Structure formats: structure tokens, C-alpha cells
Amino acid sequence: MAKTIQAIRGMNDCLPTQSPLWQKLESTVKRVVSAYGYNEVRMPIVEVTNLFSRAIGEVTDVVEKEMYTFEDRNGDSLSLRPEGTAGCVRSGIENGLLYNQEQRLWYMGPMFRHERPQKGRYRQFHQCGVEVFGIDGPDVDAELIMMTARLWRELGIDKHVRLELNSIGSLEARAHYRSALIEYLEQHIDVLDDDCKRRMYTNPLRVLDTKNPDVQAILGDAPCLADYLDPESKAHFAGLCELLDAAGIEYQVNQRLVRGLDYYNRTVFEWITESLGSQGTVCGGGRYDGLVEQLGGKPTKAVGFAMGLERLVLMLETLELDDVRRSVDAYVVTAGEGTMLAGMKLAEALREQMPELRVMNHFGGGNFKKQFKRADKVGAAVALVLGENEVSENNVVIKDLIGGEQITIAQADLVNKLKEFI
């Protein structure tokens, strides 16, 4: 036998048994973002590498070690997108969507990062992102958080996520803070690990979200970003908190929350769950007023978030909230001369009259017992049975596969009668 070929580590198939849950998640997301008047944008999966190093920042985990970068046949350096914001901004600038106007956008699709695969962390994963351009906030910042809160309620996971919030101020305020932080870290250089030492001068804020407990211990007395915030950022943050309080959305201010990517300013937030172990962040976002200009556009206010769909699917599975409906409603069972054709016609007529109904025909023959077994296996609610008698009299038997009873009715009454079962 020939050797089988396997998928790339960390890049998973979505199998037929899993796709109903994915579809439910995706359709709920689409419904919620549409309810706020947001429009979908679809960007390419591959972009020039420069876009990501300029947008995300050279000294970030994503750009330093997680990107899938390759040369194409022209010798250009291209990368599989590790996130969506950079491509969304590139597209907005290129297509003239951002200049002097508001945009409320969302996207959904695969992202790629070369990380160590584990539960909740994959090399091809899926995000839904929402980005708003041209609005100063904090009202729109609050709307984005309210939108995510609504999504959690609709998915039934609102009791299992909590919101962390922070303001990281303006770029200038952060520059002041940066120097103070570096000075403090220099005094504790003996405690820092190699990663922290390397980041200390290039991206010292990243030291704040280290997982190293020894470093965490000295960070308790480190200068606090909140003390360096510019008055405008302070007012923005106070405004956001007020709106969230009024909307009844609970949050914790976490002064260590800085987020991994360089382009954020002012508001940053994360939704975190305890139900997935260490890969607990299901959604992260914030304001990035400098990015459009950094990528060559006119200065444009911007705010957005991205959520990891695998982690949400895992939550729905772990919490056993995957009450996804069966994928077949009615299973057509036939036996006898000419009944197969009659069964296919009946199914076609039903699809015509009940477009939402999922009807599956049994193929390959076999006695009724075998066919009913198959109907059970696909999870159908009813079997529609046609023998030679039913066909000649234009009747059909509805067999309730859950309750067990069965009735014979005229085919003409089938649509009405079926509604009682499904």
C-alpha cells in the first residue's frame, strides 16, 4: 500500500461532525455584527511581508518568529497573514475607503502563525475581526465591547468570560513611560531572563506580560503606566468606563494589559475564559489611531478586535453548549418496484416547498430495518416510507424516529403534517 500523506502539524481539518458547530458560531457572529450595521470585507490570505513587519512591529513574537514567510517565483518576500488588521488597513488605504469617512468593517477567515501547536493554539487558526475607522470614541470603543458581550450572550457563554480593560495612552505618553520602565528594569537586570533582557530596550512594555514568576515579582513595584497617561487618554478611558457601567458590562482594569502587537494606543481589552486552561484569551482588541498613517494613509482614528474561533468552538464543546441541530430532518426510505424514483421525486417536491428542510434519500437498497437504522444513524427526526402500495395510492408513511409511532397520510398533506414533527 502507498504511504499516506498527513496534514501539516497544527493545521486541522474541520470534519463533518464538527462543521455544524462551526456553522452555528459563524452564523451567530454574522448576525450580531450585522445587527450593528457592520459590513464584511474579504482580504487576500497572502500579502507582502513588509506590510506585517511595518504594521505589527519588527520586535514582536508574531514578526520575529511566527510568520510563514517565503519567496514567490518573482523573488518577492510574501507572508501568509498572521492576523487581519494589517491587511484590512492596507485594503482600506488602497481602495480609498478610509479618507474622510467612517467605515465599520468585519472579516472572518484563516490566519497562520508558526507556534507550538497545543489545545487552543494552532498554526492555521481562524479569526473574526471587526475594525472601525474614522471615529474618535470612546462611544465606539464601548460599542465594540457591547457587541462582543452580546455575542457571548447569544452563544450562551457570557457566564464563562470576563473582560479586562486598560488604557496604554498616547504614543508620546508611552515613550515617557518606556524610559521610566527601562530605568527600573536596569536596576533589576539580574532577575530578568534572556527574553526580557532582549525586549527591555526594543519593546519594554512586553516585559510586563512575562509569564516568568521571578520577573513578575519585581514588576509589582515597577512604574505604573496609568501614572504616565496623557490627559486626553485619561478622559477617553473614563468616558469608556462610564459607558460600560451604564450598559451594565462588568470589567476589571488590568494595568499590566498591554497586548502583544505594537500598534495599539489608548483602549486595550481582552475577553478571557478560565475554561480552556492557559490559552484563555478568546478575544482581544483596542484602539490603533497611528496605524493608518504608519502604513502610508492619512491620519485616521481606528479601533477593532479579533477573536479566535477555535477557542470559542472549544468553549462551546467543553461547556457542552453544542446543542447543534441534527443535519438531516427527514430520511426517505423505499422498497419495491418503482419506489426509488417515487422517493426521489417526493424529496425534490419537499425541497421545493420547504426550502429549510433537510431531506436525505436512502440509496443502495436493503430491507426496511437496515434503512431505518441508517436513518437513526444520520440523526433524522422522521423517516418517510414509500412501498409499492403507498406509491400506487399517492400516500406516504411518516415514521417518527424519536417517538416510534407511524401514520399513513396522503402525499398532498405531507408538508402540513411534517411541520408537526420537525
Binding residues: 83-85, 113, 127, 131, 259, 263-264
- CB-CB neighbours of 153 under 10 Å: 12
Nearest to ligand ATP of 60, 170 (CB atom): 60
Cis amide bond preceding 138, omega within 30: yes
Residue closer to ligand ATP by CB (options 120, 343) is 120
* Binding of residue 156 to ligand ATP (CB under 6 A): no
Closest by CA position to 189, among listed 175, 206, 201: 201
Which strands, in side-by-side order, build the sheet including 330-335?
359-361, 330-335, 382-387, 395-400, 406-410
CA–CA distance, 260 with 270 (Å, rounded to integer):
11
- Which residues, numbered 222-261, are part of the site for ligand ATP (CB under 6 A)? 260
- Residue whose CB is less far from ligand ATP, 57 or 120: 120
Site stretch for ligand ATP (CB under 6 A), options 114-122, 152-160, 217-225, 290-298: 114-122
Find the binder of ligand ATP among 36, 109, 114, 121 (CB under 6 A). 121
**CB-facing half-sphere around the CA of 403: CA atoms within 13 A:** 10
Question: Could you give phi then psi for residue 45, rounded to 5 degrees?
Answer: -85, -25
Residue 141 found at the interface with ligand ATP (CB under 6 A): no
Most distant CA pair in the chain: distance in Å?
93
Question: Binding to ligand ATP (CB under 6 A): which residues in 65-94?
Answer: 83
Determine, following the binding rule CB under 6 A, whether residue 131 of this chain makes contact with ligand ATP.
Answer: no
Neighbours of 59 (CB within 10 A): 15
Stretch that binds ligand ATP, among 23-31, 35-43, 308-316, 335-343 (CB under 6 A): 308-316
Q: Does 122 bind ligand ATP (CB under 6 A)?
A: yes
Q: Indicate the residue whose CB is closest to ligand ATP.
A: 308
> Pattern 357-376, binding to ligand ATP, x per CB under 6 A?
--------------------
CB of 115 to ligand ATP, least distance (A): 5
Pick out the residues of the known binding site for L-histidine. 83-85, 113, 127, 131, 259, 263-264
- Span near ligand ATP by CB under 6 A; candidates 27-35, 89-97, 120-128, 390-398: 120-128
* 20 belongs to the binding site for ligand ATP (CB under 6 A): no
Instruction: Identify whether the C-beta of residue 51 lies closer than 8 Å to the C-beta of residue 296.
Output: no
CA 268/CA 237 separation, integer angstroms: 10
SS3 content of the chain, % helix, strand, coil (to 5): 40, 20, 40
For residue 164, what are the β-bridge partners?
252, 270
Q: Which of 104, 113, 206, 358 binds ligand ATP (CB under 6 A)?
A: 113
Taking the CA atoms of 315, 320, 325 and 328 in sequence, report the sign of the dihedral they define.
positive
Provide the minimum distance between the beta carbon of 63 and ligand ATP in the complex, in angstroms, as a whole number.
11
Residues 380/330, Cβ–Cβ less than 8 Å: yes
Q: Using the rule CB under 6 A, give the single segment among 67-75, 177-185, 306-314, 402-410 that binds ligand ATP.
A: 306-314
Query: Which residues share a beta bridge with 335?
Result: 387
284 binds ligand ATP (CB under 6 A): yes
DSSP state of 72: -
CA-nearest of 161, 99, 153, 128 to 38 is 128
Question: Least Å distance between CB 133 and ligand ATP?
Answer: 19
Q: Which residues have C-beta within 8 Å of that of residue 176, sequence separation ≥ 6? A: 228
Rounded least distance, CB 270 to ligand ATP, Å? 7
Pick the closer one to ligand ATP by CB: 12 or 19.
Answer: 12
Q: Decide: is 195 part of the binding site for ligand ATP (CB under 6 A).
A: no
Q: Give me 26's grid cell.
A: 459563524
Contacts of 307 (CB under 8 A, 6+ apart): 127, 128, 129, 148, 271, 282, 283, 284
Nearest to 92 by CA among 278, 272, 295, 229: 295
Least distance to ligand ATP, CB of residue 62, Å:
7
114 binds ligand ATP (CB under 6 A): no
Among 311, 358, 362, 399, binds ligand ATP (CB under 6 A): 311
Only segment of 115-123, 143-151, 246-254, 368-376 that touches ligand ATP (CB under 6 A): 115-123
Residues that bind ligand ATP (CB under 6 A): 83, 113, 115, 120-122, 125, 127, 260, 279, 281-284, 306-308, 310-311
